[in-house]
Chains A and B, each alone.
Chain A
């Protein structure tokens, strides 16, 4: 089978990728890293965090790289003053939204939000930071969810649905009140669909879902979705 390819420019670099590739992947395969939070290779794209926004010449709009397919002759800019400013804004808004206190967080030093803040040079938060009091559920044998640390990227929900195939996790409420729930908003310990597979903890970018008594450095394994998907597609040969 021959795949049609598309040639485009990313940050001035000419790249050729298969048709239908997302800008994010096209950039990554050519060594250009675009910041992301909600996207995870192997899961359906979500387009929620807006960190991956890029500029495309000829349009005043910004495009989420994780979900915008390449097209021929496109000229993509992934780094600019405005984009950096906007990415900082997103991180600040996330940091202010719920209780993100790195020093007392299980994911300190292994947190994607924290490292993005560092990379982007976020040294202060413009907004008043919120102190939320959402439910922490530790009723499961070893999985814990602290919703005060959740950034609503829905990676856990997607991995549970798309890779593990059980759809234990989903969202309740909307807007800033959105929360990840188990089954029909039950305690995790009494969920009858959860297989305790731990994939949610492995892909959580922050310290919202973790395994009790296990160092987060050990738990986090965000490539899991990609590995499993590729294996299922038999991309690996013995």
Chain B
């Protein structure tokens, strides 16, 4: 296999695809599989034979198109007809009407074109379009042409320059400029250098990285290859949580395929460039996604964060320079190389370029996975893409950034989504969770819930996060059970600010965000709970059997 061979595979594959008139893409991602996607797939395979159209139709299992709430989802190309809630029984009808008669089955089509209208699919460019278990599918879509371009025509510095020009920022939460990070690792002394791709995704209710890995695993691998070439790394670890069995399987297969085409290994595409990827599995700790904790975990230790400096760029895995990058960041790299950094920098806002994937959940009409350009407003996400709040309830707040994000009220709905705007109002980008809350939600209870999550997930190393969050949790218990005094609001505030400022790692530094933002935007609810002992959402003051702690 050499550089030209990749091009040949792409051409062969395109010819092969051209022989088909239709392509039936059945989503076989984690969302649709429990709903019976494999049965639907089988039904399609049988139905096309039954109607004698198997020569015209290619039935493929693909990744997620994002409409996880109405699965199993099936897309028929050309025309991108999206069928929802497909059952094996309905498959014959679809094949008969759509393929044989050429009349799409109106009643089964996804009725919400607005869900896709404001999206901009860059990272998820292949999601739902290619079969993630076939490397040829990825190559046919132009995959691995970016690493070919790097190896054939670009210097490592040139690659870093291109990524810096794109102004891409890390998608794992903190938003550090990616090109700058690559420059730091490239310049750091010490050999070998390592790459760690972060697919820990420990935030509850967030599934963007999982979907990406299940739908387009080679995009992540290609991003790692390009990063390795740019910084001079020979070995990469892909850290994935073991709760993602399908993603693990998909990635394992992808790595084996890439090796067999010598895209990974000692002599990548006969250019002498050497890079290998190994999977490492997390054991389900949120903090393991933090960059120093992930290093400890990859080394085989307890996933405990450590103080920085030294920064991983200088002293990471086994004390060597290490690049830690979120998988969504990595999946952006191939398109930046293909189209140029300048092209990428025009998408989104001037300071936050590109797009971001979000898991849209909670009280929304269209839950699912979305990818939107940076700078889109919360209102557009919640009301246009999400279709508003169901059952005629009233919108109350939107939680951006997972368990350590901020609860933002309707007054902030016109806020553009980018790193800096979110930080200014007390939220964070996090790994991309947007939870919509309606007037059934109690904001005190919501803040309490996320505090409890962070208490459970705190590693225990530093006082503020370990001992402090547990204290806050107790204050919340008092407020929601009716044993609180007004001073407790001040205590909450003081303790939260302290935990934010004094904690060792990002977990403790951001964990008080839900408390601080609800105190800032929904203070009256706290007052009602304490003074009047009432909860307008009817969530609190219920008698519960109190468990004995410890």
Contact = CB atoms under 8 A, between A and B. Distances in A.
Given A45-B307, A89-B498, 9 more contacts: A47-B306, A47-B461, A50-B463, A90-B464, A93-B464, A173-B460, A174-B459, A175-B458, A175-B460
Given A62-B501, A132-B550, A176-B470, A50 B464 contact: yes
Contacts of A75: none
Contacts of B455: 175-176
B460 A86 contact: no
A122 interface: no
B463 A48 contact: yes
B251 to A, nearest CB: 27
B471 interface: yes
Contacts of B470: 97, 175-176
A67 B460 contact: no
Given A93-B464, A132-B550, A176 B458 contact: yes
A152 B460 contact: yes
In terms of DSSP, what is the predominant structure of the interface of chain A?
Answer: loop
Interface string B489-508: 00100110010011110000
Nearest to B471: A127
B163 to A, nearest CB: 27
Nearest to B458: A175
A128 B460 contact: no
Contact of B458 (A50, A126, A151, A174): A174
Given A93-B467, A127-B491, A175-B457, A86 B462 contact: no
A97 B498 CA distance: 16
Contacts of B503: 50
Contacts of B464: 50, 89-90, 93
A94 to B, nearest CB: 6
B99 to A, nearest CB: 55
B456 interface: yes
A129 to B, nearest CB: 10
A90 B461 contact: no
Nearest to A170: B302
Nearest to B285: A174
Contacts, number: 102
Given A174-B459, A175-B458, A90 B502 contact: yes
Nearest to B470: A176
Interface string B289-314: 00000000000001000110100000
Interface in B456-494: 456-464, 466-468, 470-471, 474-475, 478, 491, 494
A178 interface: yes
Contacts of A225: none
A194 interface: no
B338 to A, nearest CB: 39
15 contacts: A45-B307, A46-B461, A47-B306, A51-B463, A62-B501, A89-B494, A90-B464, A93-B468, A93-B495, A96-B471, A151-B463, A152-B466, A176-B460, A177-B550, A178-B460
A94 B285 contact: no
Contacts of A47: 306-307, 461-462, 504
A64 B305 CA distance: 15
A51 B495 CA distance: 15
Contacts of B501: 61-62, 86
A153 B468 CA distance: 15
Contact of B502 (A50, A96, A97): A50
Interface in A62-114: 62, 64, 67-69, 85-86, 89-90, 93-94, 96-97
A80 B498 CA distance: 15
Nearest to A127: B471
Nearest to B478: A128
A53 B504 CA distance: 11
A136 interface: no
A171 interface: yes
Nearest to A66: B307
Contact of B460 (A45, A85, A133, A171): A171
